[in-house]
A and B are shown apart, each in its own frame.
Chain A
Amino acid sequence: MSTDTATPPRAEWPLWEIFIRSQHGLAHKHVGSLHAADAAMAVKNARDVYTRRNEGVSIWVVRAADIHASAPGDKAALFDPANDKVYRHPTFFPMPDEVKHL
């Protein structure tokens, strides 16, 4: 019951990243983050924080600490090699106008 300000700083609730799937059948999308004591509370908080305007029909929560990201320094090695693989795009293959449904 002590509200003694001299007490050491207490631990903070962990940070969660929130992903919401909207009504239109799209994939879950990152919408932001929030704090919660555990996953169950994170889902409830996400419902209250991020779906106030009918934004979603499904919620995923992931502890921010559990997200592994690609390193910005590797950007060139990771992503540049895809630049010259233009044949992966349909526009690489010109089709005669009279041929339909391709």
Chain B
Amino acid sequence: MYAQMVDTGLAKVEDLDALPPAERAFPARIDADVKIEPQDDMPEAYRRTLVRQIQQHAHSEIVGMLPEGNWVTRAPSLKRKAILMAKIQDEAGHGLYLYSAAETLGVSRDAMTGDLLAGKVKYSSIFNYPTLTWADIGAIGWLVDGAAIMNQIPLCRCSYGPYARAMIRICKEESFHQRQGFDIMMAMCAGTPAQKAMAQDALDRWWWPSVMMFGPSDAQSVHSAQSARWKIKLLSNDELRQRFVDQTVPQAEYLGLRIPDADLAWNPERGHYDFGAIDWDEFYAVIKGHGPCNRERIEVRRKAWDDGAWVREAALAHAAKRAARTDDAAEAA
């Protein structure tokens, strides 16, 4: 998902009964669904894990602007251009809300940006794939945002107050993102043969990366279990993935597009779609930096950050001058 494989720093899931009495208050509050707020006492591992998770999530929004930004200057109509601009702008906003949530945990946005640029913190692997045609913009909205919403809605109930509140705002705003993606796909599937072929090609290229986006099965993961215990991960990767496949297959059928998975079939016993084996080698290769666009994405962010340094610095210098002038004026009066 937008935050993949977040390390809790713990070797095994905390056992409430084994904890010394002084440390039981926190898990008890979590169990009672009491929201944790920035000033509250919290275990260091909880705080660190949240910082990692929220930060990854925020970076994903910011890096996620780039593959779509790749087409905003080439959007095929003024209406589509305006919609895409507004959508990418929302993503900047969502990154901002998430950075703010992480900042309540005592880490600065600049420090988080530094971690992203230094490659110390990941962002969602999906954004390391290229957008090659306009249909990719449709596919991203339909599939990637569709998958993201699925993960984000449960996070509105997560245990950390500022994160939950950020997610509520994000989910509210994001509701149009998936629809605009599907709307692009509908227009292309109802269009010329070339457009339909573009739409199919986009699905062919984005399907598996989208399915992988949920991350490897976490049934055995200590970190996932602990995060679930802390209520900062509410559904397992496999559960979310299954929901995504179940929801998306009929949508693809409606579009008249073929999902590139020969093993995809409805399983009446399970009441779910079965799907083929995921190429986790590819997933790990992309995570490690070998995706088609890893280097470019970070390079663009680094250049933007470096090129903007003089602007940020000048704004601060000017603010200091203004404040000094106001003070002088106040003294004179």
Give yes or no for direct A-B contact (beta carbon below 8 Å): yes
Give A contacts to B, CB under 8 Å.
Answer: 1, 3, 5, 9-13, 15, 31-35, 37-38, 41, 49, 52-53, 69, 71-72
Q: Report the stretch among B183-191, B214-222, B313-321 that lies at the interface.
A: B313-321
- Residue ID in chain B nearest A75 by CB atoms: B40
Which 7 pairs across A and B sit closest by C-beta, in order of nearness? A37-B315, A38-B319, A37-B319, A3-B306, A12-B110, A33-B100, A72-B39
The residues of A that contact B35 with a CB separation of less than 8 Å are: none
- Return B32 CB to nearest CB of chain A, in Å: 15
The residues of A that contact B114 with a CB separation of less than 8 Å are: 9
State how many residues of chain B have any CB contact under 8 Å with chain A: 31
20 contacts between A and B (CB under 8 A): A1-B310, A9-B110, A10-B309, A10-B313, A11-B313, A12-B109, A13-B312, A31-B169, A32-B97, A32-B100, A35-B109, A37-B315, A37-B316, A37-B318, A37-B319, A38-B322, A41-B315, A49-B93, A49-B96, A72-B39
B residues 157-204 in Cβ contact with A at 8 Å: 165-166, 169, 173
Tell me, yes or no, whether B251 is within 8 Å of chain A by CB.
Answer: no
Tell me, yes or no, whether B37 is within 8 Å of chain A by CB.
Answer: yes
* B interface: dominant SS: helix
Contact indicator A13/B315 (Cβ below 8 Å): yes
* A interface: dominant SS: loop
Tell me, yes or no, whether B247 is within 8 Å of chain A by CB.
Answer: no
Tell me, yes or no, whether B246 is within 8 Å of chain A by CB.
Answer: no
- Residue ID in chain B nearest A45 by CB atoms: B96
- Residue ID in chain A nearest B114 by CB atoms: A9
- Residue ID in chain A nearest B322 by CB atoms: A38
- Residue ID in chain B nearest A70 by CB atoms: B39
